[in-house]
Amino acid sequence: MTDEAPHLLTEDVEGILVVTLNRPDKLNAISRPMMDLLTEAVLRLRDTPELKVMLIRSAGRYFSSGADLRGDDRNLVSPVHDGSSARGIRENHRLNLNNMQQLWDEMEHVEKPIVVAHHAMCVGGGLEMSLSCDFRLAAKSAGYAFPEGLFGVLPASGGVSRLTRICGPHWARWLIMANKPASADMALTMGLVHQVYEDEGFEEEAMDFCRHLAKQNGEQMGAAKVAIELCAELGRDSARHVERMANSALMLNPDYIKGMQAYLKGVGGKGK
């Protein structure tokens, strides 16, 4: 890494932490240095009040080709201890893989929105990372696949579980069992991405969306992120309790009173 460009770049723009995967010559394969830098970025987003949103993007002809299968980071893709037993492999997936599962969980849990912008093909570990983000935006040229089926295994760092929760078993079967890719438009139909944009101007569209998020109330955004995750797992009655508990705190926030007064004043003014 001494003479090599950083595997991940970061920049603060208008309260947005812009993170760029920066291994275009390696199709942005996920390396140990990239994971370390991404972990630092996620923790900085979490712990820095001035940062409201994270945007993950990449440079080159792939968004990400997944875990680096050719580099020295063997623990990204294979067991590093007790690999001769099924238990050892399960423990490896839980504890190692360069902390992929732990980082994806932290991205899912941090109470600020994380946006990922796919300008090109996103596969394997890159797709697993993206599934842990709150918003997935795609350019027309983007595409999605899980190549793990070619090796006779599953995408086991949240690939099966998050994809099934987001898109349902119907489409999980398509990407994982059938080992078929999906175009950006197909991914929109699946519910895998929130919006598809033309290639031209895609980067600015993604930034505009992040600017919009950065203007939202931070307390509401954080509470909404937690409440949505809980409600996805709970029955109707318990989910309603989550709504009530969240709003019992939010409605004591002075921002709520100010916002409601401003809204009512605006509505009243328009009605005159």
The rounded mean pLDDT for the chain is 88
Mean pLDDT of 239-248: 90
Q: Tokens in use for 56?
A: 């993950």
Q: Tokens in use for 264?
A: 């009512």
- What does the pLDDT look like over 120-129, one tens digit per residue? 999 999 999 9
Q: Tokens in use for 171?
A: 């489409």
Give the pTM: 0.88
User: Using 50, 70 and 90 to split pLDDT, how confident is the model at 10?
Assistant: very high
Mean pLDDT of 187-202: 98
Q: For the ranges 104-108, 172-176, 190-194, 233-237, which has the lowest average pLDDT?
A: 233-237
β-bridge partners, 116: 56, 136
Instruction: List b or e across 98-137, with b for residues whose CB sees 16 or more CB atoms inside 10 angstroms.
Output: bbbbebbebbbebebbbbbbbbbbbbbbbbbbbbbbbbbb
Strand 62-64: give its sheet, edge to edge.
Answer: 62-64, 121-123, 143-145, 182-183
Q: For the ranges 2-6, 54-58, 189-193, 220-224, which has the lowest average pLDDT?
A: 2-6
271 has pLDDT over 60: no
Q: What contacts 73, CB < 8 A, 6 or more positions away?
A: 31, 32, 67, 98
Q: What contacts 167, CB < 8 A, 6 or more positions away?
A: 190, 191, 192
Give the end-to-end CA distance of the chain in Å, rounded to a whole number. 65
CB neighbourhood size of 89 (10 A): 17
Dihedral Cα 125, 127, 129, 135, nearest 10 deg = 170
- What does the pLDDT look like over 82-120, one tens digit per residue? 556 777 766 666 665 557 888 999 999 999 999 999 999
